[in-house]
Amino acid sequence: MWQQQLQQIRLGNVKTLARCISLVENEVAGYEKLLQLLSPTSTPVIGITGPPGAGKSTLVDALISNITAEGKKIGILCIDPSSPFNLGALLGDRIRMSEWYNNPNVYIRSLATRGSLGGLHPKIIEISDLLKAAPFDYIIIETVGVGQSEIEIAGLADTTVVVVVPESGDEVQTMKAGLMEIADIFVVNKADRADADTFAKNLRLMLAPSFSSKQIPVSVIKTVALQKKGIAELYEAILKHIQEHAINDKKSWLLAEKAYYLIQQKRMAGVNKATLKREIELAGTTFNLYQFIKKYQQGG
């Protein structure tokens, strides 16, 4: 069954892809077998992140135009805030990208953060790996934009684009350490606003080689996404970074974190605090915490 599903994904069947993403997202029984069948791929992943209101979705929409103009296929994961009522995505990005719904070269999926502090989805690694199995030329992941905690996007993406606006001066200072670490390309969006040139100049000074540990210089590109200005230059910078990009050491850390979490989750299966509490109460005054832990570590 899973082999057939994977074959359909490889052939570009978006209905099967959408169904399998839902199975993974909702942890339907047996979904791990599908993931275990996946082969490593080199599909470039582009991360788009930055503070809320910077125009990330509009920028992605403009980038889609450039990518599809070359006949390329693209998969997009838009991480939306969770609804406080049903934990579903609020779908704001889908509205802004509505013109691409029926384009056969574009697949857009909105995912809710479901309370994840990293600005991503708890199953983002698994879902992005599923997209890599499909015949996409590029994958774009747009984060919610919650600030410094979304550094994990740098481990997931081959190229991380940080979007800011001219008024972001204080925010950049606040998030400086995190942003300087994760950014491969800085985009000063809404660059038709006052002080955009000064802001971009100051940003370049902050990114000067004497202050930066990055081997590949970080580009600063001005755009006006609504008018599609500067998008061609941004697309060119992304392609250049992908070509020159060395091994992403952050990806190893991210995968190590994920592996640790999944192993921990498996080993803790069937163990819950209520059961532990009952066993401790039954032991009464003879209870020894360390012998108790040892019993569980030995599996019984």
Say what the alpha-carbon torsion angle 193, 196, 199, 205 is, to the nearest 10 degrees. Answer: 170
Shortest CA distance to 212 belongs to which of 238, 256, 177? 177
User: Which residue shows structure tokens 């125009």?
Assistant: 55
* Distance separating alpha carbons of residues 169 and 97, to the nearest angstrom: 28
pLDDT at 205: 83
- Band (pLDDT 50/70/90 cuts) for residue 217 is confident
If one compares 299 and 259, the residue with the highest pLDDT of the two is: 259
pLDDT at 128: 92
pLDDT at 120: 66
Structure tokens at 247: 């091994």
Do residues 118 and 150 lie in contact, with contact meaning Cβ atoms separated by under 8 Å? yes
Segment 45-70 mean pLDDT = 91
pLDDT at 204: 86
Residue 95, CA distances (Å) to 21, 90, 121, 131 in order: 21, 10, 20, 22
pLDDT at 239: 95
* Distance separating alpha carbons of residues 239 and 214, to the nearest angstrom: 18
pLDDT at 61: 92
pLDDT at 121: 72
CATH says 40-250 is which class?
alpha beta
pLDDT at 40: 86
Segment 271-276 mean pLDDT = 85
Mean pLDDT lowest for which of 11-20, 114-123, 222-231, 257-266?
A: 114-123
Segment 18-24 mean pLDDT = 94
Tell me: pLDDT of 118 over 90: no
Domain ranges of the chain: 1-38, 40-250, 255-297
DSSP class per residue in 69-89? HTT--EEEEEEEPBPTTT--B
Tell me: pLDDT of 147 over 80: no
Tell me: pLDDT of 16 over 50: yes
- Band (pLDDT 50/70/90 cuts) for residue 75 is very high
What are the residue ranges of helices labelled H in the chain?
2-10, 14-25, 31-36, 56-69, 92-96, 124-133, 152-156, 169-174, 176-182, 196-206, 231-244, 249-267, 273-283, 289-297
* Distance separating alpha carbons of residues 268 and 296, to the nearest angstrom: 9
Tell me: pLDDT of 87 over 50: no
Tell me: pLDDT of 90 over 50: no
- Band (pLDDT 50/70/90 cuts) for residue 212 is low
Select, from the ranges 17-31, 88-102, 109-123, the one with the highest average predicted confidence (pLDDT): 17-31
